[in-house]
Structures are given as C-alpha cells and as structure tokens.
Amino acid sequence: MPISAASDAPLTGAIAGADIARFRADWVALAGEVPGPASMIGLAVSGGGDSLALLLLAAAAFPDAVIAATVDHGLRPESAEEAAEVGALCTRIGVPHEVLRPPPESFARGNVQDRARAARYRCLADWAAAAGARWVAIAHQQDDLAESFLMRARRGAGLSGLAAMLPARRLGPERGAALLVRPLLAWSRAELAACVAAAGIVPVEDPSNSHPRYDRSRMRALLAATPELPAARLARAAGNLRDAETALGWVVDREWRARAELAESAALLDMAGLPRELVRRLAARAIASLGSGAPPRGSGLDRLIAAVDAGEVATLSGVVVRPGQRWHFAPAPPRRSR
C-alpha cells in the first residue's frame, strides 16, 4: 500500500507537545547536544510507519536541522513510487530529501538481504558526508529489540548476540564519519504508529513484515499473541545485556594489554587463570588480528579452545594456535597446490 496523506492532513502540527519534548530529550541524552544548521541530522526514511514517525518527530523537534534520504534498492516494483512519495511528504514538511540508489551489483549475489543492508549503509554514509550531516538516524524501536532478542535466543546466541543493538556507532572507519544513531529504542511500535495516525498519514505496508516465512515476522506474531512476554521488558533485558557486554569488552581490552605480546606476524597470549569467556574473546581477537580480520565465533572457536586446552595444535580462520605456557598464534602456512 502506498503512502497516503490528505492535502489537509495536519502532519507535524498534529504531533503532541509531550511527544516532541520526549523525542528532544531522548535525542540530547543520546547525542549530547541539540542539532542545528551546522550539525544536521540525516534521517533514513523508507516510508514505513516507524521511519515516518521518526521524520515527523525530528522535524517537529528540530526544524531547519533535518534532512532525509530514502534508499531504493529496486528490489520491489513499488519501491520507486514509494521513494517518490516520501520525497513529496518531505517537501510538504519542509525537509530536504534525496533518493539514493545503490548499484545492483553491490547486493546481487549471496545473501541479498544482508548485502542490501550493507549497501544501504554505504549509501547513507556517502550521502551524509556529502551533505555535511553529523548523524544518520534510523528508526529501530523497542519492539525491534524484543523481536531480535527472541530470534537470537531461539538460536542459542551468547551474550554478544543477545545484547541490544548499540544506540550509536560510526558509519565508517574514516575520521569524522557520521554517527549512525537509533533515537527511538525506548519507543514502542504502537506509540510511533499513533504519531503517524495523528498526522493523517497512512504508511507503506511491507508484506514481508507479516509473512510467516521470516523469523522476525514469526517473533512479531508470538509477541502479539503472548502478553506474558511484554516487548518492553524483553527490550530492557537486551539493554541490560548490552551493558554487560560493554563492561566485558572493557575487561577484555585490559587483559589484552596486560597479557598479549605481539610480533610482526605472531601473537603470544598468557591465558593462565582466565575464565572461559575471556579465553574465548582473547583468542578470537588474536585470530582476527592475524587472519581474515573478522573475529571467529560459535562452535569452531569452542572446538579450537578445547583442542589447545588438550595440548593439541589447532587451526581456525587461517591462524595456527599452539599450546604452551602462553598460547602461540601465527598465520597458517599456505596450502600446497596439487
């Protein structure tokens, strides 16, 4: 269903003052400052209900400090029309808008959803840099946290997987890259839908959001049918785990500085007396620093640790690990071609 807004729809004028004040306070708590013409917020607006609520709230809270973009991957026949409708709505609100189209070859192979997501963030990073936006805000909200928590718990995820998504992170490695921020993590889907309805807007409905084929859709249906699993409490649990993950990361950094000896193409790590989770994280960091750059996770890492604990040499992600008083990590020799 396309976006629908009558010509006399109230738009930002219908947003409750309490909601505007709440969004403004949430933003300042997250970003540490009020945006302005010299420090703009870039909004990623798809046309769905959550992103339209983000547009309305941000435009009402910080007029003249907001720009918007819609990333059109061209994966659905309706996407170009929906992007144009978002642009028309932004014009009515007074928010500059651009449509970004990543090249199809950037997400045509492999897991299309994952590659399309990566392409979307690259587009948004480039757009923010060109437009001078200090932040790029996306519309993840409380129910998203709860759904992600259930999806990952069902798969047996550990602490890192169960922890809530970060409220802010850099969009790229470059110095000065925009911050990707999620200012709606304390808002429920119902609260955001009420903002959009009050403005007289009918958002885009993505049919995949209710298709039982997708994990997230099934978790959404489960939450709706199970009042004993309130999304707000699951989201709070995920946030508590994020705090624990952050604290554990601080401990890992400290132990790495104290226990790691690095050479040009090797690392020595003293694992004596460490809890198993710290062993896992330090080993993963050492392997990532010498191998593919991505920290290994899951059962492969557990098997490697068990082997080294048993006095065996083990290999993972192109790195050989040898046991001893200190574990020795080095790149595996290249395989001989037959």
Q: Which residues are part of a known binding site? A: 46-51
Altogether, the residues listed in the chain come to a count of 338
Classified as helix, coil or strand, 85 is helix
H or E stretch covering 267 = strand 266-269
Instruction: Return the half-sphere exposure (C-beta side, CA atoms, 13 A cut-off) of residue 266.
Output: 10
Q: Which residue has the tokens 């259930």?
A: 150
Binding-site annotation: residue ranges for ATP: 46-51
How far apart, in whole angstroms, are the C-alpha atoms of residue 208 and residue 301? Answer: 34
Classified as helix, coil or strand, 21 is helix
How far apart, in whole angstroms, are the C-alpha atoms of residue 152 and residue 20? Answer: 33
139: Cβ contacts below 8 Å, ≥ 6 apart: 44, 45, 48, 50, 51, 53, 54, 182, 184, 192
Nearest to 53 by CA among 167, 177, 137, 170: 137
**Residue 173 DSSP label:** S
89: Cβ contacts below 8 Å, ≥ 6 apart: 3, 5, 11, 52, 55, 201
